[in-house]
Structure 1
Amino acid sequence: MARKKDKKNGKGSAGQNRKSSEDFITKYQQKADVISTDSGLMYRVIDETDERRHPTFQDSVEVHQRILLTDGKVIADTYKTNSSEKFSVEEAIDGLTEGLQYMALGERYEFVIPADLAWGKKGNRSKIGPNAVLVIDIRLIDIF
């Protein structure tokens, strides 16, 4: 009976996350407007601008973002809280570091970040489990 004490925290096990992530990626890749990079990052452009400024690895950015797991569980949502986030591009997870550099100021993208470009086999020991793919809806508000 002691095994019944397993906590349900939504993170999932490494095996569960790997399988659901593979299924999600396979389905996502079939969308017509998805762009895939050599690293495995996938994205869709939601809103484009005529702006020419793109962040570089050395820049910091201000963004609004909604971070979800492939099951739809929301990890963070600055759109909802109306509280943007500021951080340096180089400090972000690898998939976001890569993706931000494709974006121009004011644009909104949806990134699907494979586990190896996110929190990997260990997760972040909080809300993101091992082998979890992240879906990030992000708008680039400022570059500094």
Structure 2
Amino acid sequence: MTRNLLLLSIAALSLFACKGPEARRPVRTTSGTFIKESAERNKILLEQEEKMIATIIEQDTAKTYLTSDSGFWYYYNVKDSLPSNPPKFGDDVTFTYDIKTLNGKLILSESDNGVQNYKIDQSNQELISGIRDGLKLMKVGETVTFLFPSYKAYGYYGIENKLGTNVPVRSTVTLKTITTQENE
């Protein structure tokens, strides 16, 4: 009987002595200052790039520069005066483009890139966001030169052995064709 009482009391103690599971805590915690500091660095970088682009625009009085809603500047080398529509979501376009530094040093030529095929807003093609946005402003036959801050170009990654990180670029794009997708 004593033995049963002893086993029963040990079982009761172990049943009531167990705590629920505890969440594991991280070994070290961060304060979130890295993200705040990174945002501040990016604001300063953008401000510097915008000043560089503004200086170029001020010095180039022969061209009429336009500002896009997407955060870049552009001018028309060849503008289509006929009423036609720019590409829309899902349209297939073919185009050529080059990439230069803001000073005009060639990074990628049109022949390096070749003729590009792109489905507006649906392709996973590795185009910089500036060109994807710029194509939506163009009509067939137009040639436009864009000035992109680095965040609209190659940003932090650059182009290996060709373009450093956080470098704003100039790109001349010629829209060759638009194939409109009909709604079925």
Please report the TM-score for the alignment, with normalisation by the length of structure 1: 0.72
Q: 2:158 aligns with which of 89, 99, 123?
A: 123
Say which one has the larger Rg.
2
> Number of paired residues?
126
Structure 1 partner of 2:92: 60
Stretches of structure 2 that go unaligned for 5 or more consecutive residues are 1-44, 180-184
Structure 2 partner of 1:46: 77
The answer on whether the counterparts of 1:69 and 1:133 sit within 8 Å (CA) in structure 2 is yes
The answer on whether the counterparts of 1:63 and 1:142 sit within 8 Å (CA) in structure 2 is yes
Counterpart secondary structure, 2:144: strand
Counterpart secondary structure, 2:177: strand
Q: 2:68 aligns with which of 30, 34, 37?
A: 37
Structure 2 partner of 1:140: 175
Q: Which runs of 4+ in 1 moved over 6 A?
A: none
- Determine what percentage of the aligned residue pairs are the same residue: 25
Q: Distance in 2 between matches of 1:93 and 1:139?
A: 15
Q: Distance in 2 between matches of 1:125 and 1:23?
A: 26
**Structure ranking higher in helix proportion:** 2
Stretches of structure 1 that go unaligned for 5 or more consecutive residues are 1-17
Tell which has more relative contact order, 1 or 2 (C-alpha 8 A, sep 6+). Answer: 1
Please report the TM-score for the alignment, with normalisation by the length of structure 2: 0.58
Shift of 1:110: 0.5
Which amino acid in the other structure matches residue 65 of structure 2?
V
| Structure 1 vs Structure 2 CA RMSD | 2.6
2:120 is the alignment partner of 1:89: yes
